[in-house]
């Protein structure tokens, strides 16, 4: 039954650059889900957006309706960047995403939390029905199994820590001052990694000062929290900057770093926090997600054995999931058949009773006998 099938589309780091992912990410996950649900023939919808991926999934009345709804995903990027997925490809890919096999940092823990939050958002938007619920629940289960039963998340486990590893290759962080812009999960992980790298001071800037203070309290070095309005001044103090906010506009422009001197900036945000033009200012080096490839390649090499275990796990769970969908489809088909038979029976009984009553009154016993 077409209405039971999922179709998906994705733009991710496997084929796309930071610029292309940014071009594809024209709305937040809830906005994407609501837009998909407004599409003709779509009954369910799910979307996930992170710093290195934009993905959308629908359950629709036909393949054509699903493709039409998903057409805006990656409409503004080059051909060959968008990957379309049928029902089984979508199910397998969702499990791979939750398990961390599709992450820039193989096996990162952060993606599972992002995945769960995306499910909550889709639920709130009314996008999750029985078809997506089955697939997404299985994906979360696989993601949790991967992290408890294998070593897929040993070592560098986040993009934040990978960013600090990259910074260590380019400059000596020992005794330096670091600025982290954004106090979300990624910013917190970056701040902790910077503290582990022996920086002397961590400044955390955030729209909500209280959240920035919580991050400062969690790191074992001197630090202070500032508002986003104070970022310009903090740039003058910082030797290394990591940005990771959810803002849709640039927070740092070329003018903001003119007086910064020698500064390494690693922009982890999607859309980007730092205007690429800032890299043209003397002494300022700007790195982004694309530049993490060398660090993440090392992580991938050390986790190959664990990745193979997770692949086997996904294969096993995928077979179970496909069987579950087939059983449900069969149950629905049988239920539909019984409902149709019941309607036919009721119609024929009404016809027979009407004909018999035309010849004379029926007793209750005779009516029961006809039924």
Instruction: Tell me whether residue 196 is one of the annotated catalytic residues.
Output: no
Distance CA 252, CA 249 (A): 9
Show Cβ contacts of residue 188 under 8 Å, excluding neighbours closer than 6 positions. Answer: 160, 215, 218
Residues in the chain: 371
pLDDT tens, per residue, the chain with 371 residues:
444 689 999 999 888 888 888 888 777 899 999 999 999 999 999 999 988 899 999 999 899 999 999 999 988 888 789 999 999 999 999 999 999 999 988 888 889 999 999 999 999 999 999 999 999 999 999 999 999 999 898 765 688 988 999 999 999 999 999 999 999 989 999 999 999 999 999 999 999 999 999 999 999 999 999 999 999 999 999 999 999 998 888 999 999 999 899 999 999 998 899 999 999 898 999 999 889 887 887 777 778 889 999 999 999 999 999 998 887 765 566 666 766 666 777 777 777 777 777 777 777 777 777 77
Residue 3's pLDDT is what? 47
- Exactly one of 9, 25, 33, 51 is catalytic; which is it? 51
Residue 1's pLDDT is what? 42
Kindly state the helix (H) or strand (E) to which residue 367 belongs, with its residue range.
helix 364-370
pTM of the model: 0.76
What is the DSSP track for 341-364? Answer: HHHHHHHHHHHHHHHHHHTSPPPH
């Amino acid at each position: 039954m077409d209405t039971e099938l999922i179709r998906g589309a994705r733009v991710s780091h496997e084929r796309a650059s930071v610029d292309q992912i940014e071009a594809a990410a024209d709305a937040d996950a809830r906005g994407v889900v609501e837009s998909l649900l407004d599409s003709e023939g779509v009954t369910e919808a799910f979307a996930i957006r992170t710093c290195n991926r934009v993905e959308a999934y629908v359950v629709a009345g036909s393949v054509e309706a699903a493709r039409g709804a998903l057409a805006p995903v990656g409409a503004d990027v080059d051909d060959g960047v968008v990957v379309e997925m049928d029902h089984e490809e979508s199910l397998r890919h969702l499990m791979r995403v939750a398990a961390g096999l599709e992450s820039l940092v193989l096996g990162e823990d952060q993606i599972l939390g992002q995945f769960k939050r995306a499910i909550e958002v889709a639920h709130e938007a009314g996008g999750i029905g029985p078809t997506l619920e089955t697939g997404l629940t299985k994906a979360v289960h696989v993601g949790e199994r991967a992290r408890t039963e294998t070593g897929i998340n040993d070592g560098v486990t986040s993009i934040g820590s990978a960013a600090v590893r990259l910074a260590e290759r380019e400059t000596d962080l020992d005794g330096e001052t670091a600025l982290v812009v954004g106090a979300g999960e990624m910013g917190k992980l970056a701040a902790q990694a910077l503290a582990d790298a022996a920086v002397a001071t961590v400044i955390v800037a955030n729209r909500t000062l209280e959240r920035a203070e919580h991050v400062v309290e969690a790191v074992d070095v001197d630090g202070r929290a500032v508002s986003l309005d104070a970022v310009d001044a903090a740039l003058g103090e910082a030797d290394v900057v990591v940005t990771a906010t959810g803002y849709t506009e640039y927070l740092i422009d070329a003018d903001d770093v003119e007086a910064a001197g020698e500064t390494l900036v690693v922009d982890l945000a999607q859309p980007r926090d730092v205007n690429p033009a800032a890299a043209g200012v003397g002494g300022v080096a700007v790195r982004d997600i694309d530049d993490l490839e060398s660090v993440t390649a090392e992580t991938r090499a050390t986790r190959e054995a664990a990745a193979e275990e997770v692949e086997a796990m996904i294969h096993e769970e995928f077979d179970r999931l496909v069987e579950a969908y087939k059983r449900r489809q069969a149950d629905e088909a049988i239920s539909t058949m019984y409902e149709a038979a019941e309607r036919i029976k009721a119609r024929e009984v009404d016809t027979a009773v009407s004909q018999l009553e035309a010849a004379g009154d029926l007793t209750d016993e005779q009516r029961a006998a006809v039924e």
